Homo-oligomer: A and B are copies of this chain.
């Protein structure tokens, strides 16, 4: 049984401020927890149903600092999901500092004020599939260690590095280095008719406001995904996760 204090502590990690102070984040889900246990990341605590704990090999269990059996009710209290999984773990954050010039050596993604955790998670997942190793987030993007981001990334945060930079400065560096910046926007040119290279920055904007005005001067090509809509109601949209998948695919199709 988990103490009230312990439950309260784990719940408090849903807040970015506490995560940063503790240098810890939460992962949820049987598969995700197992992926992390097999990775280089440090899993400090495992909070899980006894059956889940029992299913793990001994050497893996020994590598975890605290293993805490929990009931469904306890997992429900600490979960960020409506229906909790069988396992949840606390993982140590890894600080990786990579210089902008290094990131700019390969195709990378820049995100301007992405707010929805599911969207950031999906973008990380798509980046991993399409071989994009670095994502640069503006400082006001949702936190990559938000439990819902981690959840939606399905473990792809193990493969993709997510950095938080002043985006204006980052794009200025790209510009100084002569790297193209592809800005996704509704009034762009069809991505099918562009000839994107395998270098540069793919810039995706906020879910409702798009790319900020002060970043537009850095955009060297405006790109969009053509709509073939059957809509009667003008409600058609792709979310930024779906758009990212299509755009990354288009870049890799011709340069891969």
Contacts and interface: CB of A to CB of B under 8 A. Distances in A.
Contacts of A130: 227-229
A210 to B, nearest CB: 17
Contacts of A243: 245
Interface in A88-105: none
Interface stretch (A5-13, A55-63, A246-254): A246-254
Contacts of A176: none
Given A155-B233, A233-B35, A249-B249, A129 B256 contact: no
A3 interface: no
Nearest to A249: B246
A128 interface: yes
A1 interface: no
Interface stretch (A22-30, A44-52, A156-164): A156-164
A34 to B, nearest CB: 10
B132 A230 contact: yes
The residue among A81, A129, A231 with the most chain B CB atoms within 10 A of its own CB is: A129
Contacts of A201: none
Contact of A230 (B122, B131, B232): B131
A225 B245 CA distance: 11
Q: In the A-B complex, list the 7 residue pairs whose CB atoms are closest, starting with the nearest.
A: A131-B228, A242-B245, A155-B235, A246-B249, A159-B231, A192-B253, A133-B230
